[in-house]
Chain A
């Protein structure tokens, strides 16, 4: 069974530029999560989708971050414009309505 796919794996941009990340969850997983993980810390939930609807985006900085999950399958997370403090690993995860969450390899973003 294929796992959660993410791309790109690494991205380096200048501050004020925009960037987009892509995630394809495990087939059949209705719930998709985007997390931000600062080095040395645990994952912080940015947004959670159930199918193509948003369940929780309370910690998403909506002035610069946006996310969508068209057709309830893959998802994109965008940052525009990026700030230095956005440097982090962006993790995508998916789950069924029960059981564990499965993570992708993450995208390491460096903002210069």
Chain B
């Protein structure tokens, strides 16, 4: 069974500093997607970044980057130059491919950005 684990319920970071959120997953599949979603308080869940398992290169989206370690089944999110607007719940998610329409979510990490 696929499971996604986020071991850090809460994290905090000083504004302009860098923070890394961790995520591990368990799967026997060789192809899959991994995602990080951001959900600000009382606001919509939005996609931050995605990674295809067959790609060795780590995905990057502006200040957001991932460290994908396939053998270790680890998928951490690094936020550089943290901004107040980065404060949110962050969810890691896994989707098997092909043929996988089910998404598996972690329990989330609440990120606080300290001015």
Shortest distance between the CB of A75 and any CB in chain B (Å): 15
* Interface bin, chain B: 20 to 34
Is A101 in contact with B103, judged by CB distance below 8 angstroms? yes
A33 in contact (CB, < 8 A): yes
Instruction: Name the contact of B45 in the complex, choosing from A45, A56, A91, A99 (C-beta under 8 A).
Output: A91
Is B46 in contact with A100, judged by CB distance below 8 angstroms? no
Instruction: Name the contact of A42 in the complex, choosing from B44, B47, B107 (C-beta under 8 A).
Output: B107
With A42-B107, A103-B45, A103-B46 already in contact, the answer to whether A95 and B101 are too (CB < 8 A) is: yes
Instruction: Name the contact of A33 in the complex, choosing from B42, B98, B103, B106 (C-beta under 8 A).
Output: B103
With A100-B50, A103-B46 already in contact, the answer to whether A48 and B102 are too (CB < 8 A) is: yes
Is B91 in contact with A106, judged by CB distance below 8 angstroms? no
In the bound complex, residues from chain A placing their C-beta under 8 Å from that of B37 are 103
A50 in contact (CB, < 8 A): yes
Please count how many residues in chain A sit with their CB below 8 Å of the partner chain's CB atoms: 23
* Contact code string A29-70 (vs B, CB < 8 Å = 1, else 0): 001010000000111010010100001100000000000000
A104 in contact (CB, < 8 A): yes
Shortest distance between the CB of B65 and any CB in chain A (Å): 17
Instruction: Name the contact of A41 in the complex, choosing from B43, B45, B108 (C-beta under 8 A).
Output: B108
Chain B residue at smallest Cβ distance from A6: B44
In the bound complex, residues from chain B placing their C-beta under 8 Å from that of A105 are 43-44
Most buried by B among A55, A97, A98, A105: A98
- Which are the 8 A-B pairs with shortest beta-carbon distances? A103-B45, A42-B105, A105-B44, A31-B101, A100-B47, A42-B108, A42-B107, A101-B103
Interface residues of A (CB under 8 A from B): 31, 33, 41-43, 45, 48, 50, 55-56, 91, 95, 97-106, 108
